[in-house]
Structures are given as structure tokens and as C-alpha cells.
Amino acid sequence: MNKLTLDDVDLQGQRVLVRVDFNVPLDKQENGSPTVADDTRIRAALPTIRHILDGGGKAILISHLGRPGGQPNPDLSLACVADHLGTLLKERVRFSSNTVGDTVREVVDGMSEGSVILLENTRFESGEKSNDEAFARSLADLADIYVNDAFGTAHRAHASTAGVAEFVDPAVMGRLLTKEIDILTKVRDEPEHPMVAVLGGAKVSDKIGTVRTLSKVAEKILIGGAMSYTFLQALGHEIGSSRVEEDRMETASSLYEEADGALALPSDHVVAEEIDAGAASTVVEGDIPEAQMGLDIGPATVDTYRSAILEAETVIWNGPMGVFELEPFATGTMSVAEAIADATDAGAYSVVGGGDSVSALARAGVTDRISHVSTGGGAMLTFLEGAPLPGVEALTDAE
Ligand code: ADP
Ligand code: MG
């Protein structure tokens, strides 16, 4: 896959439509107005935006935010993100409350070289997620050049990530997308061994393809989080009232078989009767008693996983080991984060992706000790699995 990048295009005087990933967490200020709680994703888009402005282009930014379900929702407006971006760029960033229609067309036509505008949340339009051709065309009408820099949504074929690229020529990769693809291609195609993947989080169903592919290349896959209980139940263990996906039992047992010893499952667990920071928690080995649910990997599992991670030359991590948002169930996740940072200090190459996993890194205070913190969760897994990313496939081929 060889696609055009920002380096291949002349930006002078051009209307450059950039799909960024500004799907950031928001907070409410005291006066009730929303504000950006974590601007990591906004900062990640700055190299592309600055390059366009420096090249004399007009930057028209589009993104989704949250899940408004195809209709306007003032709580999920990108207006406060425009203000925040303006502060970071030290430039005025205009905001358009429309993504389609004559008004936005006129505003864009009136832009001067080196100026920036952010359009409203693309998911306020029902045509975004359905990849509606009319919506994709109306976005395309705003642009001479399309840039995709939203790695985090590149695995989704939506109007602003894939559809629009069919109607703008050239459609190119932004700085962030290029960097993610370059790094992840190396990890996927020529990793140093031993390679250890740590996979946790909420659902097996999100990660089946990844487990299958990685179990063929990685020496070990360490499973944690809620998805371990689906595996454990499939192998005949008692898992109490832990979260399981009944409809994935068969998949889980065949994945385990196929992995031929590469899959490691937790041997002990931190359990409680409910997901509550105040619930009495205990450690159990092996089977989980009725009415108790597994909410974190136990201390013996932490030791085993830590040793495996420290032996690795390549470590990939997605998905927390437990309900790390709550103190009593955070130890497993924090320990894995520290083990990966220690392995990295000792020379391993580490890649971590996923919204919750990345916030766990920050909470453990080890973000700076990870080789590559990806801006994608699902996109990173999809790419590592070897599946195509629609947001990349749709771009213009390099000759
Ligand atoms: P990421 O955002 O890093 O890709 P996921 O979204 O897949 O990770 O999973 C994170 C979620 O999984 C967290 O909200 C966490 O509380 C939840 N989780 C992890 N372990 C358990 C468990 N044992 N039971 C219930 N939920 C869990
Ligand atoms: Mg998540």
C-alpha cells in the first residue's frame, strides 16, 4: 500500500480538507460551558495543520466527537475544540456550526491563505456513519485536496474518513497517519522476537482477529480484563458472575486451541460482588465462586505476566487488565504498564494503543517510557491484524 502523502502536494492557495481525530474527552467549566479535558489528540494533529498553513493552504478541519447518533447535540459540539486549537496554534481558528449547505460553502470560499476553520461534529449528520454519498460529495465540494490524518478512525468507512476521498483528487495521508502506518508496519512485518502481546479490555468480540493473527507471530499473548473470563469459561472453569460473552464461547475455545500454547490466561483474580470501589474485594486462585466477579488479574498472574514482558524484545498492549478506573481493581493494569515501561528501558520496542490503555499509562506515570503510544485502538488492532483500513485504502495511490 503506497499512498500519496502531504509531501507530494503543493498546498499554495489550495482548500485543504483535513479529517482529524478531535474526539477528545470534555469537561464542564463552573459556568456550565464545555472545555477540553485532554488535548493529546488535538496536539497530535498540529504537525499536519502547521504544515498546511506554512505551505499557504487553507485548512478546513473536520472530525467527529462522541456518539450523537446522526443529530445535533450541543453537548457534543466541537466549538470549544476550535477555541482550544486556536490557543495551541496561536492563530485564530474559525468555527462553522454547519458541515453542509450554502453557509459553510461561502465561509470556505472566503478563506484567506494560511487560515483555519473547524467545522461542526460530522456525526451530527446521519450520512456520516452510513457513508452516504451525498454527504461525502458535499464535503468534497469544499476541497481541492483531502488529507486524512485521523488514524483513530481509519478502520471505519464513514463519509468523512473514506467516502469523501473518492470525490477529491488528490486524497493524501497526513503527518500523523503516515507516522502511525510507518511504525506499525515495522512492528507488524518485521518485529524483533520474542514478541509479547498483552490483550485485555472489555470484549473478546473486538479482538478475535487480532488474537488469531498475533498468536501466529507472537511467542506469548497475555490475556487479561473481562475477555479472559470468556476464555476461562470456554475452557471449563467456573467464573462466577464475571462478565462473559456467551455467544463467543466456541470462538474462544478454538482460538485457544489454534494458539497452541501461546495464549496465557490469568491463574488468579481480584474478585468482588459488584463493580464498586467500596465493594469488599479478595484474591482467589483458580475458579471464581458464585456471585463473585473477576475485576482484575491477581498477584500471581501479575508476576507471571511481568516476567514474560521483561523477556520480550517487542511488546504490544491494548486493553486494561481489570476495571482500572476503580482503585481496588487497578493494580494489575498499573503493574502491566510499569512492566512494559521497564522492558522498554531495557531495550524492547513497545507499542500501546486504545483510549483506556493510554489513559492507564498516564495514570501509571509511564507514558514517556513507551516507544510508541498509538492514537488508535481499534485502528491499531485492525492494522496489526493485517486487515485493510478503509480510511487509508480510499486515498490516492502513489505512482
Ligand atoms: P481500550 O480503550 O484501551 O481499547 P477497552 O475499551 O477494550 O480498552 O476496555 C476497557 C474497559 O474494559 C474499561 O472500561 C474497563 O473497566 C473494562 N474492563 C476491564 N476488565 C474488566 C472486567 N474484568 N470486568 C468488567 N470490565 C472490565
Ligand atoms: Mg475503550
Express each pLDDT in 245-286 by its tens digit: 989 999 999 999 999 999 999 999 999 999 999 999 999 999
- 320 ligand 1 Cβ < 6 A: yes
Contact in structure between 183 and 380 (CB atoms under 8 Å): no
- Catalytic pick among 56, 66, 114, 355: 355
pLDDT in tens, 141-184: 999 999 999 999 999 999 999 999 999 999 999 999 999 999 99
The three-state secondary structure class of 4 is coil
203 catalytic, yes or no?
A: yes
Q: What pLDDT, on the 0 to 100 scale, is given for residue 206?
A: 82
Which ligand has the minimum distance to the alpha carbon of residue 378? Answer: 1
Mutate which of 265, 323, 381 to test ligand 1's pocket (most atoms within 8 Å of Cβ)?
Answer: 323
355 catalytic, yes or no?
A: yes
CA 362/CA 367 separation, integer angstroms: 5
Is the model's pLDDT at 208 over the cut of 90? no
**Which domains, and CATH codes, for the chain?**
6-179 (3.40.50.1260), 191-384 (3.40.50.1260)
Contacts of 268 (CB under 8 A, 6+ apart): 283, 284, 285, 286, 297, 298, 299, 300, 301
32: pLDDT confidence band, cut at 50, 70 and 90? confident
Q: What pLDDT, on the 0 to 100 scale, is given for residue 366?
A: 98
CA 57/CA 39 separation, integer angstroms: 24
- 338 ligand 1 Cβ < 6 A: no
pLDDT in tens, 287-340: 999 999 999 999 999 999 999 999 999 999 999 999 999 999 999 999 999 999
Pairing state between β 195-199 and 220-223: parallel
- 357 ligand 1 Cβ < 6 A: yes
- Residue 288 C-alpha to ligand 2 middle, in angstroms? 25
CA 14/CA 364 separation, integer angstroms: 44
Residue among 49, 269, 252 nearest 147 (CA): 49
Is the model's pLDDT at 362 over the cut of 80? yes
Please report the atom of ligand 1 found closest to the CA of residue 207: 7
Distances from the Cα of 303 to the Cα of 267, 297, 316, angstroms: 11, 10, 18
220: pLDDT confidence band, cut at 50, 70 and 90? very high
- Residue 169 C-alpha to ligand 2 middle, in angstroms? 34
Distances from the Cα of 109 to the Cα of 20, 118, 134, angstroms: 21, 14, 20
Is the model's pLDDT at 203 over the cut of 90? no
Is the model's pLDDT at 1 over the cut of 80? no
Mean pLDDT of the chain: 96
Burial 306-327 (b: 16+ CB within 10 A, else e): bebbeebbbbbbbbbbbbbebe
Is the model's pLDDT at 123 over the cut of 70? yes
